[in-house]
Structure 1
Amino acid sequence: MRGRIDRFVRSRVIPREALLDGGGPAAAEALAELRGQAQEEGLWALPLPEELGGGGLGFRAYAELAEVEGASDHGPAALGSAPLLDVTMLARHGGTAVREAYLKRLVAGEIRTCYAMTEPDVPGTDPFRTGTRAERGPDGSWVVTGRKWFTSGVAGADLVTVMARTGGAPGDREGLSLLLVPTASAGFRVVRELPVLGTGGQYEIEFARVRVPADHLLGEPGDALTIAGERLRLGRTLRCLRWLGQAQRAFDLMCERAATRHGSRGPLADQQLIQSHVFDALLALRTTRPLVHEAVALIDAGRDARTEVGLAKVAAARMLQQVADSAIQVHGAAGLGPDTPLPGLFRTGRAARVLDGPDELHITSVARRVLRGYGRDGSGSGRSSGSGSGSGPE
């Protein structure tokens, strides 16, 4: 199965990346064709529940496939696994009406969702300062007012999950909730696209007294941080798996270049500085992969994986940036231009060290959690896992 997905991504998705990146009707048509091919070949929505039309593959088994699927940013969408986070969240925390209205359509690829948490002028690492508010009306519905930004993929989304304050004031640890908002609602607006290092896909959005049905609250009022924590740990681990696939792609390009490029002094592969790039990149890949799969195993077993996810997220983001940078160096000027995917892979690695929790957040969170396991007597009770209690989505 891993080989089949690898061939699908390399032979069908990657050749269409430029078209898919461009968006518009042509990209939508190409994506629809790829999805049809994935369904015909039995590769569609492998990690999504079987009863909803997916493949029913468990997370640990899917992790072995997610790397090759994620070698292209468009792989998960073409193969139907992109809504895994939203399907998992809605299946666990959505009410009956939400589950019946959206889950099967999500798995079928008929509708798309996105997630809005961060706000302008509010540190994304501090959800307690969320200012977006949701007030309850006499009929039980919610009226949402506020702004979010760095919301991925909202331009083509049918639904957006928004973190809003349903009680208390900004800074309070209580009173945060998640609401599922149809983007066709009156008062919802995409304010602008926010290019990240020159590429699009992130947006600022506005909720101007958007009315949301009462049954579109996820969980209970005040449950946002618990639900968001689940989502973030799973989401970060998924992204780490995909970054491994993208780093492997950059590594392969680097090695192919070194093996086939000749200069006045002979093949690049014979030069020690090139060999150093290859060695360091391979070392980074090989040492990061076990960290990521350790996090996968803990999440799959339902155990506390916060320390392992933090380690994996920092290591994988740094690793992708490092490997892509070495591949660019070996390619020379060609690695900076439009003829290889290397600029995009480097950009993804660099942005990954800020978005979805900056390195500093994960370093501090993991170190504090580990140190709590060591008492003054030096017993080191937390030495085996470093996991501990805590609140918030980190």
Structure 2
Amino acid sequence: MKFSAILIASLVSTVSAFTVSTSTSVGIKSALHAEAEAESEPIDYSMKAVDSDLDYDAFDPLSGDRPALVRNNNDGVWVPQRARPRRNRKSAHMRSMVRENIVTPANFIYPLFIHEEDYNTPIASMPGCERHSLPNMLKEVGEAFDVGVKSFVLFPMVPEHLKTNLAAEAYNPDGIVHRAIRMIKEKYPESIVCTDVALDPYSNQGHDGVVEDGQILNDVTINQLCKQAVSQARAGADVVAPSDMMDGRVGAIRDALDSEGFTNVSILSYTAKYASAYYGPFRDALDSHPGFGDKKTYQQDPSNGREALIEAALDAAEGADMLMVKPGMPYLDIIRLLKDNTNLPVAAYHVSGEYAMIKAACEKGWLEEKDVVLETLTCFKRAGADIILTYYAKQAAQWLAEDGIY
């Protein structure tokens, strides 16, 4: 009982004290406010109100030991912080002046699908992309040229009756790719025409190499790739791009080109081409899905990063002029890895699956297409890509022109 009485008395005392304190505080504030009104003088917000003992030179803006807010004459409060990164973001021109990475149409390679028909065919899984007839391909090249895109890579849809296991159509001098090269170089001689060096569009097996007993034959395939690359160079290709991922193919292609006098034809190697799930729409476009199994015995495992360094070292030693990472966005770390470990230009392929995802989200109204595309392309540059293969090349160049980027 005695303890209870003491506790009750203590609580009563505390409540009383709190009431008095609150009343006093309110009274003081009211009095100060009334006094200020009576004197008709503004409250002093100048720097004179700052504690003169505050050591600004010793203040570390990155530490947790921050002085309290103080007041000044501008907006009422001031944090004593000298480093303010927002100053470099305060206007569009300021942001442009300090921008670290800038995307321009000169960075783009524009992939074009071509077929033997005399009309264009939309690709359902890649809205906005088409298989072009050769005359329409030339028109598309011209439109891209007008907005600053000067580099192109050709991918053919080959009729079924021309597909064989040895893929001999790949080096037919009158094949669709060879005719397309000649058309572009005749009309736009200053263009850069790149060609895909791989057998899958021409294979009745749908694989990047010659097949025997369910196996992809590495060295036999390279023999065919060398024939393909040399034939493309003869047609006028500026760059050949082996995408097959056979071991040793870059060195063999380099030797084959040099022995035929094509020492100035460049090799853009698909150095780190992963066995990715993002290629589906591309295979729809060319009707080149594997006839059996998958491509995991020759394309890289998506789980592996350091393996790309092995491929890069081999390609560089074998004479590659540029190194590519494919796909792009899911492999920004690999782009940076190659950029930090080679002096060769690095390319990123913004692949069909990435393109299709953006298109689908934008068609639903979930994303703003222009903003997300330009951000994506900038991310490639920031990660270290010097070259970007993208189906958005022409459209992105138009957007950049509208924004006055180039």
User: What TM-score do you get using the length of structure 1 for normalisation?
Assistant: 0.21
Larger helix proportion of the pair: 1
Bigger-Rg structure (1/2):
2
TM-score, scaled relative to structure 2: 0.20
Point out which structure has higher relative CO (alpha carbons under 8 A, 6+ apart).
Answer: 2
